[in-house]
Amino acid sequence: MKKFVVSTDSPYEIIIGEDIIKNVGTYIRQCIPPCRLCIITDSTVNRAYAQVVMTSLIEAGYQTSKIVFPAGEHSKNLTTYSNILESMADEGLTRSDAVIALGGGVVGDMAGFVAATYMRGISYVQLPTTYMSAIDASVGGKTGINLLCGKNLAGAFWQPSLVVCDYKTFDSLPDVKRLDGVAEAVKCAVISEASLIPKIQAWDYEYVIERCVSIKKSVVEADERDTGLRQLLNFGHTVGHGIEKLSAFSVSHGQAVAKGLIVESRAAYKMGLTEADIAAELSSLLNGLGFDLSIPYSADELYRYALMDKKISGDKISMVIPESIGKCRLQKISLSELRQFVELGLSED
Ligand code: GLY
């Protein structure tokens, strides 16, 4: 078992291990006194892990309740959010109670945002059950929901009190969900640590999660509010979020980010923003890992969507520019250059 402390304004621990979900109540007792814990989860994870978590929480002296919403990105909306808040108020949960986010990225974002806003903010614990959430979404306190106009457009920075990651839960994941995590791990390798790549290819969960969490911890500690350095973690997402949205979420987050990594790398090179021409190498890596890298959307469609990106400030957007596999920097480009950026990134000529 490995532990990290994330030293944000309110510091918290991340515990990573195999087959540890059954002990989660004991870990939570180190940071949250006995109270009511409201487990928020989705219909898939509910069937697999809610009972073991609830049993552990009760054994540790907590009262529990549970709110389940339909699995999938489609549920990450205002209606689900408001239904959950109303249920919590109906149950009489107070400010000294807490939320348990049990599931993948959608559950973590939703439950975190509920915790950030219920009675102006209560504690929550992240229990990621997907590779993607373990590597990325459960760490760093970004919470939120989608609006009709785009992904994660309403949200809050709200750090959890604890993250407990049991990578044995990935055994039950379908391949597409495993690949979501792989895309985020490849992103981490490209921005910061090329030596991760063979470990990603070897499906070494323990090593990859520990390194990605350690990288994310350093970035979040330096820029908790995402005003600079943290935007590196958004590599591939300007285009990736557009693909997800344009596909009505039939393309998963990780699949979309993988495509976005290629488009943004190719564009950076073709625009003359870097001498590193890494798109072909990345394509062959991602193909080999099982990704479909086709993109059936036009530059105009993706550009329109990119105009909702949260890295825009005034008439400029910060883009992540690879200098090599393992090193990236941020560079602002104008929104008119962004149109050309997307077009060049899509064209394989
Ligand atoms: N998922 C990117 C971040 O937390 O900043």
What CA–CA distance (Å, rounded) separates 218 from 233? 12
Average pLDDT for 125-131 = 98
Q: Using a pLDDT cut of 70, give the percent of the chain over it.
A: 100
Q: What's the fold here for domain 2-172?
A: Rossmann fold (3.40.50)
Q: Give me the mean pLDDT over the 36-58 stretch.
A: 98
Calculate how far, in angstroms, residue 154's C-alpha sits from the geometric centre of ligand 1.
Answer: 15
**6, 109, 142: which to mutate for ligand 1, most atoms within 8 A of CB?**
142
Atom of ligand 1 nearest to the CA of 137: 1
Mean pLDDT within 308-336: 97
Instruction: Kindly give the distance from the C-alpha atom of residue 142 to the centroid of ligand 1, in angstroms, as a whole number.
Output: 7
Task: Report the alpha-carbon distance of residue 284 to residue 337 in Å, rounded.
Answer: 28
Question: What is the reported pLDDT for 161?
Answer: 98
pLDDT of residue 169 exceeding 90, the answer is: yes
Q: How confident is the model at residue 348 (pLDDT cuts 50, 70, 90)?
A: confident
Residue whose CA lies nearest to ligand 1 atom number 3: 233
Q: What is the mean pLDDT of residues 105-134?
A: 98
Residues with CB under 6 A from ligand 1: 136, 140, 142, 226, 230, 233-234
Ligand 1 atom with the smallest distance to the CA of 233 is 2
Tell me the best of 152, 159, 230 to mutate to test the pocket of ligand 1, counting ligand atoms within 8 Å of each CB and taking the most. Answer: 230
Mean pLDDT of the chain, nearest integer? 97
Output the CA angle 228-209-325, nearest 5 degrees. 55
**How far apart are the CA of 284 and the centre of ligand 1, in A?**
25
Whether residue 349 is predicted with pLDDT greater than 90 in this model: the reply is no
Residue nearest atom 2 of ligand 1, based on CA coordinates: 233
State what percent of residues in the chain have pLDDT above 90.
Answer: 99
Using the mean position of ligand 1's atoms as its centre, give its distance from the Cα of residue 63 in Å.
32
CA nearest to 145, candidates 174, 124, 116: 116
How many other C-beta atoms are found inside a 10 Å radius of the C-beta of residue 106? Answer: 25
Digit-coded pLDDT (tens) for 227-283:
999 999 999 999 999 999 999 999 999 999 999 999 999 999 999 999 999 999 999
- What is the Cα–Cα distance from 186 to 321, expressed in whole angstroms? 15
Tokens of 50: 């809610």
Domain boundaries, the chain: 2-172, 175-346
Rounded to the nearest angstrom, the distance between the alpha carbon of 349 and the centre of ligand 1 is 32
Q: Model pTM? A: 0.95
235 alpha carbon – ligand 1 mean position (Å): 10
Quick one: which atom of ligand 1 is closest to the CA of 231?
5
Rounded CA separation 280/325 (Å): 12
What is the C-alpha to C-alpha distance for residues 289 and 242, in angstroms, rounded to an integer? 22
Q: Which atom of ligand 1 is nearest to the CA of 136?
A: 1
pLDDT at res. 310: 94
* Angle, CA of 246, 190 and 229, to the nearest 5°: 85
Pocket test for ligand 1, best of 136, 186, 229 (most atoms within 8 A of CB): 136
Mean pLDDT of 33-60: 98
The Å distance, Cα 212 to ligand 1 centre, comes to: 12
CATH architecture of 175-346: Up-down Bundle (1.20)
Q: Best substitution site from 138, 219, 233, 311 to test ligand 1's pocket, by max atoms within 8 Å of Cβ?
A: 233
